Homo-oligomer: A and B are copies of this chain.
Amino acid sequence: MLGRLNHVGVATASIERSAECYRMLFGDAAVGEPFDLPAQGVRVCFVDAPNTQIELIEPLGADSPIHGFLAKNPAGGQHHLCYEVPDIHAAKSWFEGKGMRVLGEPRIGAHGTPIFFVHPKDMGGVLTEIMESPRGEH
């Protein structure tokens, strides 16, 4: 049902500071330019590991959903896992058919394709993002 692990979402109070660490770990070229996703209340930055990506996530705005996570985890930490699927609507029906809670309607995510989240309580405590694979890939 699920495809490749597109990325691991890692929350941070400062993308700038985290990016410095990831440049050291994976090289300058691996760390992309940060950009804002105002609709989701986050600023993000993708880091290329050889077989997947790390998505650094910083709160954007007072209502950012990341504030609560950072209040509990001031040093930052793993926030979610994102898996690819070929068809976001088929995936939504599949999860709902299994009785798992899909959080809201599919919307455009950080990679420009539709995404939704599945409730962590239905995924062994792991907040899980489901993302339609970019066209032409996979």
Instruction: Identify which of B4, B18, B26 contacts A49 (C-beta below 8 A).
Output: B4
Residue of B nearest to A74 (CB): B125
CA distance A17 to B123 in the complex (A): 11
Instruction: Identify which of B5, B11, B24, B50 contacts A8 (C-beta below 8 A).
Output: B5
CA distance A78 to B123 in the complex (A): 11
B126 touches A76 (CB 8 A): yes
Asked if A52 is an interface residue, CB under 8 A from chain B, the answer is: yes
B125 touches A4 (CB 8 A): no
A12 touches B83 (CB 8 A): no
A8 touches B8 (CB 8 A): yes
Beyond A8-B8, A26-B2, is A126–B77 a contact (Cβ under 8 Å)?
yes
Residues of B within 8 A of A76 (CB): 124-126
CA distance A123 to B74 in the complex (A): 13
Dominant SS at the A interface? Answer: loop
A10 touches B124 (CB 8 A): yes
Interface residues of A in 7-39 (CB under 8 A from B): 8, 10-12, 17-18, 21, 24-27
Residues of B within 8 A of A3 (CB): 49-50
Asked if A135 is an interface residue, CB under 8 A from chain B, the answer is: no
Q: Could you list 6 further interchain pairs (A-B, Cβ under 8 angstroms) beyond the known A5-B49, A21-B123?
A: A1-B26, A4-B50, A10-B126, A21-B124, A77-B124, A78-B81
